[in-house]
Structure 1
Amino acid sequence: MEILSSRVLVRSRDPERARAFYRDVLGLAVHREFPGGTVFFLGQGFLEVSGSAAEDPTGATRLWLQVRDLRRAAEELAAHVVRPVRREAWGLDEMWVADPDGRLIALVEVPADHPLRRDVRQ
């Protein structure tokens, strides 16, 4: 399985407060914003603050791994899949696997027509 990019996902009981902390207190630069979330530069990686810990009983922190071929990853990791591949409302194809401690890892494929595949710089 080839990992193309990654980020740490943080769910908070108060997402606005969390975003303000990472932006204003830690001084992390914003990589991109979308309705309900902000992705910050985090050294060689990214930190995404989105969703709500109250909405996510499976855990407030998880890994997000972008793969080239999600169907192939699903086959390779079949014994660890806790939520099968599906197209999310935000347009990404996503499945979840669990590590030995039950921590969720979101494996994501960006469809060819998704805005993340386009260079939006003017």
Structure 2
Amino acid sequence: MEFLSSRLIIRPVDRQRSLAFYRDTLGLAVFREFPGGTVFFTGNGHLEVSGRGHGPPSPDLAIWLQVRDLAAAVAELREKGVPIVREPRLEPWGLRESWLADPDGIRIVLVEVPPEHPMRLDSRKP
């Protein structure tokens, strides 16, 4: 089986409110729009906001977004009035993370990969 592309699809309770959050507050660029939905770029992935949700999101769901500078990203979000659910910290697995939530309560994990983390190391043999 070969997979060519992927995206995360969320069904917000209030689509316009969520569109404003992802587009204007987080600053995600629009990949495409269609009747009833918008797809955003999320680095090398996509986030589709479409349809209508009918309840709170599962606490098991999280959107993982990598940023270059976590402290700067959190400061920018604070300036925009976004509540930070969990302050930046270094996790046991070596990533710096901070949490916030979208208008429906979906957890968004902002991640900075430190220079010394294995995800940044070149594993090719010299």
TM-score using structure 2 length: 0.50
Q: Which residue of 2 aligns with 1:87?
A: 90
Write out per-residue CA displacement over residues 11-48 of structure 1, whole angstroms, 9 at most, x where no aligned residue.
xxxxxxxxxxxxxxxxxxxxxxxxxxxxxxxxx649xx
Distance 1:119 1:80 in 2: 36
Residues paired across the two proteins, number:
70
Q: Which of 109, 118, 121 is matched with 1:118 structurally?
A: 121
- Find 1:102's aligned residue among 98, 101, 105: 105
CA distance in 2, matches of 1:80, 1:101: 13
Separation (CA, whole Å) in 1 of partners of 2:86 and 2:60: 17
Q: Using the alignment, how far apart are the partners of 2:122 and 2:83 within structure 1? A: 34
Query: What runs of 5+ residues in structure 2 fail to find an aligned partner?
Result: 1-6, 9-43, 47-57
The 2-side partners of 1:61 and 1:80 are apart by 19
Aligned-residue RMSD, C-alpha: 2.2
Distance 2:114 2:97 in 1: 10
Distance 1:109 1:74 in 2: 11
The structural deviation recorded for 1:62 is 1.1
- Which residue of the partner structure matches residue 63 of structure 1? 63
Which protein, 1 or 2, shows the higher relative CO under an 8 Å CA cutoff with sep ≥ 6? 1
Give structure 1 regions of 4+ aligned residues with deviation exceeding 2 angstroms.
none
1:74-99 Cα shifts (integer Å, max 9, x gaps):
10112321000000000000000110
Q: Percent identity?
A: 53
Relative to its length, the structure with more strand (as a share) is 1
Task: Show the counterpart of 1:30.
Answer: none
CA contact (8 A) 1:80 1:99 kept: no
**Structure with bigger gyration radius:** 2
